């Protein structure tokens, strides 16, 4: 099968993705082989290709917002049948026995497996997944629009919960790409006031179309104090900006896996009055079940830009340069 792999990590315009030919993988015990129909293009893929995240192994195939059909079953499987539609997300496995897994925090597992980083992902014709970590997808969402839900949607949902905005409260959203535009839809449907602070006219226009209460530059103060905020942009220098925008007791949740360095914080201006700063790490399978159900019920819909899988490098470059609003999705078939 043909796939894209991370060759020599570097700036996206230097061509870090390379074409590879692989044998069609055979599922081992407890695994499914999934024939990929669509795969979302996530900013984490960009961080991996550019070297912000060190590759876990050479020539890994990125992609962890995978939608496809079960094509083969490994020994001991039983949750799915050949032909079933499934989703494959970032969290691809845990040890199940560490102290974090035992207490229900599998996203903090000390020996996790991540799709498209530890094991090959969806920038390919097919991939393998531990069936315990495959997800059933809502019937009313087609493959292209389901793909971004599997990471952009999941991490945004977890970040929104951790931002701890009270009912009817005020949420700030810093950055407005694939994840943020899904999170904002959930927040608005739940009755929160949402202020989007971002750069790029594509993203600002999308925020206005989705009904944000205000849209401004990432460094502008919002029109009212925030009860909570989520930082999606991988820009550490926005952390103090967002903290200063919080009301007393507010929480800033940082949703990205990678963030540039955070400058020194001024305690009195940015943390005092019980303001909180916390990171968001991966997701649990329970997060996925809750969010996919909620997204279908609320009518959350990804704004997508389709690309053929042969143009994966262009999709990744367009993401890096902010050439579209919403989420890019590769079509493998």
**Are both 11 and 85 inside the same structural domain?**
yes
- Could you list the mean pLDDT of each consecutive 10-residue stretch along the chain, which spans 333 residues? 96 97 96 98 96 92 98 97 98 97 97 97 98 96 97 97 97 96 97 96 94 96 98 97 98 95 96 97 96 96 97 97 93 89
**Are both 14 and 134 inside the same structural domain?**
yes
Rounded Cα–Cα distance for residues 127 and 121 (Å): 6
Quote the pTM value. Answer: 0.94
What separation in angstroms does the CA of 228 have from each of 2, 14, 162, 278, 290? 44, 38, 9, 11, 21
Q: Is 187 helix (H, G, I), strand (E, B) or coil?
A: helix
Which pair of structure tokens corresponds to residue 46? 């960009």
**Are both 157 and 135 inside the same structural domain?**
no
Which pair of structure tokens corresponds to residue 3? 């796939």
Give helix 152-163 / helix 180-189 axis angle, nearest 10°: 50
Number of other CB atoms surrounding residue 198 within 10 Å: 25
**Are both 33 and 116 inside the same structural domain?**
yes
Give the CATH number, domain containing residue 203.
Answer: 3.40.50.720
Domain boundary among 238, 263, 279: 279
**Are both 303 and 209 inside the same structural domain?**
no
Q: What is the pLDDT, as a whole number, of residue 53?
A: 93
Rounded Cα–Cα distance for residues 5 and 23 (Å): 14
Domain holding 142, by residue range, is 2-152+282-331
Rounded Cα–Cα distance for residues 285 and 163 (Å): 20
Q: What is the pLDDT, as a whole number, of residue 172?
A: 98
Q: What is the pLDDT, as a whole number, of residue 55?
A: 86
**Are both 145 and 171 inside the same structural domain?**
no
**Are both 11 and 147 inside the same structural domain?**
yes
Q: What is the pLDDT, as a whole number, of residue 333?
A: 78
What percent of the chain has pLDDT above 90?
96
**Are both 98 and 125 inside the same structural domain?**
yes
Per-residue DSSP letter, 290: H
Q: What is the pLDDT, as a whole number, of residue 35?
A: 98
Give the CATH number, domain containing residue 52.
Answer: 3.90.180.10
Q: What is the pLDDT, as a whole number, of residue 19?
A: 97
**Are both 110 and 20 inside the same structural domain?**
yes
How many domains is the chain partitioned into structurally? 2
> What is the DSSP annotation of 237-287?
THHHHHHHHEEEEEEEEE--S--PPPPPP-HHHHTTTT-EEEE-----HHH
Q: What is the pLDDT, as a whole number, of residue 71?
A: 98
**Are both 292 and 146 inside the same structural domain?**
yes
């Amino acid at each position: 099968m043909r796939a894209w792999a991370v060759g020599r990590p570097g700036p996206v315009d230097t061509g870090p993705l390379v074409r590879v030919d692989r044998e069609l993988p055979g599922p081992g015990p407890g695994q499914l082989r999934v024939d990929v129909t669509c795969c979302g293009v996530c900013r984490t893929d960009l961080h991996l290709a550019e070297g912000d995240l060190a590759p876990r192994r050479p020539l890994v195939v990125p992609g962890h917002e995978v939608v496809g059909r079960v094509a083969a079953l490994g020994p001991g499987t039983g949750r799915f049948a050949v032909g079933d539609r499934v989703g494959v997300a970032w969290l691809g496995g845990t040890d199940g026995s560490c102290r974090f897994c035992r207490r229900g925090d599998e996203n903090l597992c000390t020996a996790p497996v991540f799709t498209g980083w530890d094991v090959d992902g969806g920038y390919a014709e097919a991939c393998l997944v531990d069936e315990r970590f495959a997800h059933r997808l809502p019937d009313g969402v087609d493959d292209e629009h389901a793909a971004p839900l599997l990471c952009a949607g999941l991490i945004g949902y977890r970040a929104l919960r951790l931002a701890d905005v009270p009912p009817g409260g005020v949420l700030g959203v810093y950055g407005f790409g694939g994840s943020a535009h899904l999170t904002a839809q959930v927040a608005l449907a739940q009755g929160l006031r949402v202020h989007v602070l971002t750069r790029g006219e594509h993203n600002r226009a999308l925020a206005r179309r989705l009904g944000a209460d205000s849209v401004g530059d990432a460094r502008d103060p919002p029109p009212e104090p925030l009860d909570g905020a989520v930082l999606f942009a991988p820009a550490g220098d926005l952390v103090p900006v967002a903290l200063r925008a919080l009301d007393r007791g507010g929480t800033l949740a940082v949703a990205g896996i990678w963030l540039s360095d955070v400058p020194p914080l001024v305690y009195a201006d940015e943390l005092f009055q019980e303001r909180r700063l916390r990171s968001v790490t991966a997701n649990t399978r329970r997060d996925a079940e809750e969010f996919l159900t909620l997204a279908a019920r609320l009518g959350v819909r990804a704004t997508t830009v389709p690309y053929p899988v042969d143009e994966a490098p262009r999709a990744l470059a367009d993401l890096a340069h902010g050439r579209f609003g919403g989420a890019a999705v590769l079509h493998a078939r």
